[in-house]
Amino acid sequence: MRILSGIQPSGKLHIGNYFGMMRPALRLQEQGEAYLFIANYHALTSVADAEAMRQGTWDVALDFLACGLDPERTAFYRQSDLPEVHELTWLLSNVTPLGLLERCHSYKDKLAKGIAPNHGLLAYPVLMAADILIVQANVVPVGKDQKQHVEVTRDVANKFNHAYGETFTVPEPSIAEDVAVVPGLDGQKMSKSYGNTIEIFGDPKQARKRIMSIVTDSRTLEEPKDPETCNIFKLYKLFATPDQQAELAGRYRTGGMGYGTAKKELAEMFEAHFAPMRATRADLAANPDYVEEVLQAGAAKARILADETVQKARRAVGLE
């Protein structure tokens, strides 16, 4: 089974990214032939600063390696190191109905937010389809909000196969039901666009300060509290064992514990979890040649599949 996943380098990674995408992606190493790419072409739809793009791409590479990505088990590469993806995007564009792209939720959402439409925003799902199909992925893990993009890929692959003969593996989306929606400091979904994040490799003091600013209700120290509706507890559960969760939940319901105490315990959990990774990341940052070798090796592995796929598609449409 060949599995593909990708992430954009569009800002500092936070714990929503870690628990929502990074950790599930790292688990793929144990499930099949894993390919993971840094989607820097996709990020061009939102990142217009060249230096920010370079730094963001490098940060994602460091973050994933620090969090446990094994380059012996996962082909880890920059999207921009697979130029074949653009030729395939063009071949796929010619079987992709315009209406299909205009109906995509992400495109309509961006227009509703007042973002000026351009070809990159509209054609984003075709590039994503090329990312998936170029390595002939069987499975694509996605969140529920991104399932439509895989469905578009399936539609495009089927249209191409119908028009030119069996060329592409039609992928299946994999939606992990146990992946938590991580709340931000204000209770909304943690997102850079909301400014409610906790960076996983930011300054530890700043992370603690942000944890201590999590919004809560106005119940007093003495009052019993409901852990299941508390954003502090929802974040605590991501780090804690079942026994630790039960113990803290009991103190919530009994009363006599303020939210400040729960925040401090969450901050301790956060630091215990990420401090070793932070040290690993510092070592990796001091050895950029190794990180670059990992990315180049991953791209070389992916390009073997990419070349085979593009040649097959070229023959199918009559370019060879």
User: 206 and 118 share a domain?
Assistant: no
- Asked whether residue 178 carries a pLDDT value surpassing 60, the answer given is no
Is 78 strand, coil or helix? strand
* Dihedral sign from CA coordinates of 111, 113, 118, 119: negative
The pLDDT value recorded for residue 22 is 86
Kindly name the residue from 147, 192, 264, 312 that is annotated as catalytic.
Answer: 192
Written as one string, the DSSP assignment of 162-173 is: HHH-S-S---EE
Question: In this predicted model, what pLDDT tens digit does every residue of 93-121 receive, in sequence order?
Answer: 999 999 999 898 888 888 888 888 899 99
The pLDDT value recorded for residue 181 is 76
- Asked whether residue 146 carries a pLDDT value surpassing 80, the answer given is no
- Asked if residue 122 is part of any domain, the answer here is yes
Structure tokens at 65: 């390696």
CATH code, 240 = 1.10.240.10
C-alpha to C-alpha distances, 175 to 145, 210, 318, nearest whole angstrom: 10, 30, 37
User: 151 and 235 share a domain?
Assistant: no
- Total structural domains within the chain: 2
C-alpha to C-alpha distances, 316 to 61, 92, 95, 97, nearest whole angstrom: 35, 12, 13, 19
The pLDDT value recorded for residue 145 is 67
For the chain, percent of residues with pLDDT exceeding 70: 98
Question: In this predicted model, what pLDDT tens digit does every residue of 6-39 receive, in sequence order?
Answer: 989 977 889 998 988 888 888 878 888 999 999 9
Question: In this predicted model, what pLDDT tens digit does every residue of 257-285 receive, in sequence order?
Answer: 999 999 999 999 999 999 999 999 999 99
- Asked if residue 187 is part of any domain, the answer here is no
User: 43 and 170 share a domain?
Assistant: yes
- Asked if residue 51 is part of any domain, the answer here is yes
User: 20 and 148 share a domain?
Assistant: yes
- Asked if residue 203 is part of any domain, the answer here is yes
Distance CA 174, CA 171 (A): 9
User: 253 and 292 share a domain?
Assistant: no
- Asked if residue 185 is part of any domain, the answer here is no
Domain holding 215, by residue range, is 192-282
Specify whether 110 is catalytic: yes
User: 219 and 164 share a domain?
Assistant: no
CATH code, 100 = 3.40.50.620
**For residues 300-304, average pLDDT:** 97
- Asked whether residue 177 carries a pLDDT value surpassing 70, the answer given is no
Kindly name the residue from 110, 225, 237, 301 that is annotated as catalytic.
Answer: 110
User: 59 and 151 share a domain?
Assistant: yes
Specify whether 189 is catalytic: yes
Question: In this predicted model, what pLDDT tens digit does every residue of 41-94 receive, in sequence order?
Answer: 999 998 999 999 999 999 999 999 999 999 999 999 999 999 999 999 999 999
User: 74 and 112 share a domain?
Assistant: yes
Task: Report H helices in the chain.
Answer: 15-17, 23-27, 40-43, 50-66, 84-93, 98-102, 105-112, 119-133, 147-164, 204-211, 231-239, 242-254, 259-285, 288-317
Kindly name the residue from 12, 147, 189, 312 that is annotated as catalytic.
Answer: 189
**For residues 189-209, average pLDDT:** 93
User: 98 and 235 share a domain?
Assistant: no
Residues 6+ apart with CB under 8 A from 211: 198, 235, 263, 266, 267, 270
The pLDDT value recorded for residue 180 is 64
Distance CA 146, CA 301 (A): 26
Check residue 255 and give left, alpha or beta (phi > 0: left; psi -120 to 50: alpha): left
Confidence of residue 233 (pLDDT cuts 50, 70, 90): very high
Contact, 6 vs 35, CB < 8 A?
A: no
The pLDDT value recorded for residue 213 is 97
Whether pTM > 0.75 for this model: the answer is yes
User: 175 and 244 share a domain?
Assistant: no
For all residues of the chain together, what is the average pLDDT? 93
The pLDDT value recorded for residue 24 is 81
- Asked if residue 119 is part of any domain, the answer here is yes
User: 124 and 257 share a domain?
Assistant: no
- Asked if residue 186 is part of any domain, the answer here is no
- Asked if residue 67 is part of any domain, the answer here is yes
The pLDDT value recorded for residue 179 is 61
User: 106 and 208 share a domain?
Assistant: no
